[in-house]
Amino acid sequence: MYLLETLSQKYKTISIVGMAKNAGKTTALNYLIEEAMDEGLTLGITSTGRDGESTDLVTGTDKPRVFLETGTIVSVPTQLYELADAGLEILRMTRYGSSIGQIMLCRVASSGYVQIAGPVINASHKEMCSEMLELGAELVLIDGAIDRKSIAAPGTSDAIILSTGAVLSRSMKKVIEETAHTVGLYRLPCMEDRDGRKIIEEHLANQQLLIISGEDVRVLERKTGLGAGKFLDGEIDETTDFIYVPGAFTQSVVADINPKKLKNVIFILRDPTKIFIGSTLWGQLRKKGLKVEVLENIDVAAITVNPSAPGGYAFDHTDLLKGVQEAIPDIPVIDVMI
């Protein structure tokens, strides 16, 4: 059974998330499209930005084009419609706009290359994906072309496919470590304390730091945890159970907290995409007693690896694939270049 057929039995929407630019995300998308063609699976294809052009509009480098088979449901803005090599039947003019025109939902009437784009706002993407499923797509793939972090957020899709590769580092060991680190973050435990969770959910809209002790909550003046280490150190006492951090979670949030206090509290984040700490520092902080939980974690359905980098270097295909599989044995890993 092909990977995509297996995933389509469990998920309806999947985001393809690149760990870095040129990690092979579009190559992974084309790989999955070919699988769908072989299996007769009707896909919906959309993007958080613009994809399918032959040249990267930011770097000027060549990039893979997107070839779509007859029957595919695709989101295309009005300004890109005439650029498609494929024949496109307009099914619906949506209410979602973009910088390159109103988004249309089309069915591919004759196979060919298509430049795709979709709404940038995650909430709009989720609504549009539902429309694509209504129009006959069996599985919708979202290409995270602009903001790699936000498209991984659990509210956007049912799961993600994580694209990693040689572009991350010239060291294969480092590539494997950072990939395993990212998957580990995405799998952080969800907060189970019902009372604490209820308190946080009641304050979510206000985007404020919260210190929770049993059923009591202190709303702090600061809107962000960045650079808040000394401030938080003075606020934590022996009764503190949780600290909710509404925005980015970096080293500066915890750097100046007494290690004894650090061990006695649990930091709560909305989801793992808020974490901006590398694998080495994360390991050091965990050894000091850092504990982090999330309101929602991220389901990683599969990992794709690209052994080649635009910089002109490449890893051995087999070694990279084997290394990632050994580091993350319970998730399917695919080399999209084979």
pLDDT 10s per residue in the chain (338 long)?
Answer: 468 888 889 999 999 999 988 888 888 898 899 999 888 999 999 988 655 444 444 444 445 689 999 999 999 999 999 999 999 999 999 999 888 889 999 999 999 999 998 887 777 888 999 999 999 999 999 987 654 566 788 888 999 999 999 999 999 999 999 999 999 999 999 999 999 999 999 998 888 899 999 989 999 877 777 778 888 888 999 999 999 999 899 999 998 899 899 999 999 999 999 999 999 999 999 999 999 999 999 999 999 999 998 888 999 999 999 999 999 999 999 988 77
| CA distance linking residue 134 with residue 155, whole number of Å | 19
184: CB partners within 8 A, 6+ apart: none
11 and 98 together in one domain: yes
Q: What CATH number should be reported for the domain holding residue 80?
A: 3.40.50
Contact, 112 vs 87, CB < 8 A? Answer: yes
Per-residue model confidence (pLDDT) at position 149: 62
66 and 139 together in one domain: yes
Instruction: Count the domains in the chain.
Output: 2
Q: Which of 296, 306, 4 is nearest to 163 (CA)?
A: 306
290 and 302 together in one domain: no
164 and 278 together in one domain: no
The one-character DSSP state at 187 is T
Q: Which domain holds residue 201?
A: 194-294
Contact, 321 vs 295, CB < 8 A? Answer: no
133 and 264 together in one domain: no
133 and 167 together in one domain: yes
Per-residue model confidence (pLDDT) at position 223: 72
Q: Token digits for 187? A: 């799998």
Contact, 249 vs 269, CB < 8 A? Answer: yes
Contact, 118 vs 96, CB < 8 A? Answer: yes
Per-residue model confidence (pLDDT) at position 62: 47
246 and 311 together in one domain: no
Which DSSP helix (H) or strand (E) runs through 141? strand 139-143
Q: What is the pTM of this model?
A: 0.89
Per-residue model confidence (pLDDT) at position 48: 81
Q: What CATH number should be reported for the domain holding residue 280?
A: 3.40.140.80
Q: Which of 97, 191, 115 is nearest to 106 (CA)?
A: 115
Per-residue model confidence (pLDDT) at position 53: 47
Per-residue model confidence (pLDDT) at position 58: 44
Per-residue model confidence (pLDDT) at position 147: 47
> What Å distances lie between residue 262 and 47, 141, 187, 269, 287, CA to CA?
40, 40, 21, 16, 11
Beta-ladder partners of 303: 162, 333
Instruction: Report the Cα 65 to chain-centroid distance in Å.
Output: 21
Per-residue model confidence (pLDDT) at position 69: 93
Per-residue model confidence (pLDDT) at position 64: 64
